[in-house]
Structure 1
Amino acid sequence: MAVAAHKQDRADERAYEDAARGRRAAERQAAKNAQALRNGTMSQAAFDDAQRSADERPGTFPKVRARRPDRRHFGRNVTTRTRRRGKNTLIDGTVDVDADVAVINSGQAFRDADTGNWIANGRTYGMHENGTVFPVSGPGFHDASRGGFKALGAYNEFGGDTAEARRWIAQHKLSPEAAAEGLQLFRTLGR
């Protein structure tokens, strides 16, 4: 088992090294295009098209190795103490996140030049500077409001729609809409 994992790790390292070489080649081409633009041998429109197509086609590699999303994006891990944002996107159990991250790292994902987001297997991910990806949209992703996320944490922590969960939700003055959203997420994301 350990040998197979080591071989896979080594294969991943080689793929990432290949990606780095590809990135350096793309950077050299971008520098040549910039020089051609300055020399007047390339129009601004052609330069913009070259930059955009380089960012959007498969074969574009992230500047840093992509890593799994934070635990808080997996619905089953949410508790009452989990850090919340204004908008929270949760991942259900049908998504093979490791496969999506591998697609991004291998250069097979598309990159949206306008947003910088990565599209892998029909799902859109953003990426923090350290390489940690986060879900944005797509199949298997569920948006949650701040209140719905809090309520989901209560349902997870207290084992579903129990008296303790309802008491916690009431004590924290969550709206009935947030409680209903949290319960729907609890049922959708499974336990």
Structure 2
Amino acid sequence: MTWDHLVTILRHLFSPMPSAQITILRVVVVLLALALIATWRGWLRGPRGWLWTALGLTVGGIIVATLAFRIGDRVPPGTGRSVNVRAFVGLRHAAGPHASTFESANFYGNIALFVPLGMILAWLLYGWLIGRVALAWVIGATLSASIELTQSTMDRVVDINDIILNSSGAALGAGLGCGVLVASRLARAASRANASAP
């Protein structure tokens, strides 16, 4: 499959933008189909089932927020896409006190959007806590890159810094999720110690 074929398929699925209602409907249909399959297979039982449900809703929300709406995009429809492949350019300014409201909202919004994803992944994944954070970062970066790839077929702003910020948000969320896990384990250990004390 050539790049032109991929662009044609993605444009057929997601263009013209904004078509928020159509994109939201597609995401809802996919999530409902996955929920039915998961229910039929018995995957949604217990706490991990709730976590898988939350993960699906979070990913769906991210897709709707980034593909159904022009959040932070300044390229008028029909003028062609804008692509930035210069990593870290402007990020320090956007995080500083002299940034405009738009720059600050774009910077912190891109991070915050992926924090819930990282937290849920930290609770779903197995293994060392640092490994969970690293894997959440990789998953966040992969999802973000997929979204940017899709946006590259539209009249949208495509920015490598969005991938950096999104994956950082996923890693931050995973770190917070691991912190909650450690705190809960310490609390349970202290409770058991108090219960066994004479």
TM-score by length of 1: 0.28
Which structure shows the bigger proportion of residues in helix conformation?
A: 2
Q: Higher Cα Rg: structure 1 or 2?
A: 1
The answer to which structure, 1 or 2, has the higher relative contact order (CA under 8 A, 6+ apart) is 2
Which structure shows the bigger proportion of residues in strand conformation?
A: 1
